[in-house]
Amino acid sequence: MKSLRRNWLQAISLFLAISAGQALAEDNSSLKVAWDKVERVLNTTATLQVVVNPPLRRGSPIHDRVFQALRELHSDYVRYVPWLPYPRLGVAELEPPEDGKTSWDFSLMDPMTMDFLDATAGQGHSVILNFSTIPQWMYKTPKSVSYPGDPDRATWNYEQGTELRDPSLKEVSDYFARLVSWYAQGGFKDEFRKEHTSGHHYKIDYWEVLNEVDFEHGMTPQSYTQIYDAVVKAIHQVDAQIKFVGMALGAPSSEPQFFEYFLDSKNHEAGVPLDMISYHFYATPRADESPGIWQYTFFDQADRFLTTVRYVEAIRARLAPKTRTDIDEVGCILPYDTEPHIVRPIPNSYWNVCGALFAHLYVELARLGIDVVGESQMVGYPTQFPSVSMVDWETGQPNARYWILKLLRDNFASGDQMVETEHSSSDVAVQAFVTRDAKRKLLLINKRNRPATFSLAGAAGAEEEYVDQETGSHGVGSARLTGDGIALGAFEVAVVTLPR
């Protein structure tokens, strides 16, 4: 059922259209769609990443709800990242092999990984695995680096050193090959030829080689490319069908040399594939900005990021035109997210503006032909990037960011046609689609904390699905348009399916 507020907004829109004496679709300031002018066939998949952390462990109060929400997204190219803050949850061999003994232990890693794969690959969806942390003992350091005995205790000092102790890279590449063999081939033989049996035979579509290599361990384009090649070759000896994602850069606009070097096949060993590259974007306000300013900061930064994307795409098209692109961390992040022992309230509107930002970038990146756009991240919580969460970290209930992703997932897919769409408002993004089943749909994204109205001749009777500040964490709302008016609440994302 429509809320009273939505009835009020639609009434305003209809009044404006009537006052103009014509359907606003005929006016220069109106929304105009040329349904027969195809600008691009959609090839962009909207998806998400799941980062390993304690709330995802079995026994957590939110575990069941979160994995059910993940299952209900039916997403492809879902990225799974056991990451550095929790070495015992992300590193399978925490101590170096010696005296005929190894420390291989999957007892803490397996439950979460199995739950993830059962909710994604087990449902027929593609996944990207990124066990992103190299065992610290493989790096040269002045002294050994400790890690917490408590698997739920975070540490930010685990990754140290810039030079691997084995310059041949066999040690590090064999480590990742054994991880793949554990999950895809039922087990492996360790450094002393002892058999370790898992019984796992999951399908791994993509393996992403490390994470934010421009930050972690001070890698250069040259050193990373050498590691990438070694890891790819070792994994292909285990499973020749796996494809690979490279770089996962955290600051793509600052590191053009990574793209120039990595995408040049001359810098790789013969036969090493360049299937896909990845990099990240987070909109971040200054610490002294008030919440009312965030909307402008976020979308301004997003538009600057799109300039970076165009630049990177030019490099990719020149050097490796068959290589695909996954922008696999997209979101907003507040500047005090990792402050210890400080929990600052996050306004409810924040989740809506961040969801609207993701929808806006999805459209813009689709226009550029980017293959995959991944929202970050399924679960965050205080001291561990709470502002990046797609769910309530206490209840597991999805917030507006999740529901906006689901709205996109449920309405648009590769093969849909993006058609010519014109409108004059810089505060609202609009894109029209003709879907594969010949439905005419409008995606509308309000980038501002105020209502917006449109009118389009023939919209009366259209079905609308939307996420606004009223639906919030409750799901996707629905309504039927009673006239040609289309009304958007503050930060609302809506899909309007026009009558045939």
Domain segments of the chain as ranges: 4-41+418-497, 45-411
Neighbours of 444 (CB within 10 A): 24
166: which residues sit within 8 A by CB, 6+ positions away?
A: 138, 172
SS3 154: coil
Closest of 447, 453, 362, 381 to residue 15, by C-alpha: 453
Q: Is 19 a residue whose pLDDT tops 90? A: no
> Nearest-CA neighbor of 194 among 93, 300, 270, 49?
93
DSSP for residue 79:
E
pLDDT tens track for 212-270: 999 999 899 999 999 999 999 999 999 999 999 999 999 999 989 999 999 999 999 99
458: left (phi over 0), alpha (psi -120 to 50) or beta: left
> CA nearest 350: which of 292, 409, 289, 286?
292
- Give me the phi and psi of 151, to 5 degrees please: -65, -20
Determine the Cα–Cα distance for residues 62 and 70; give it in Å rounded to an integer: 12
Q: For the domain 45-411, what is the CATH code?
A: 3.20.20.80
pLDDT of 21 strictly over 70: no
Tokens of 33: 């769609």
Rounded Cα gap, residues 203 and 185, in angstroms: 9
Pick one of 2.40.100.10, 3.40.50.2300, 2.60.40.1180, 2.30.30.50 as the CATH number of 4-41+418-497. 2.60.40.1180
Per-residue confidence at 20, pLDDT binned at 50, 70, 90? very low
In percent, the amount of the chain with pLDDT more than 90 equals 86
Angle subtended at Cα 297 by Cα 292 and Cα 302, rounded to the nearest 5 degrees: 140
**Average pLDDT over the chain, rounded to whole?**
92
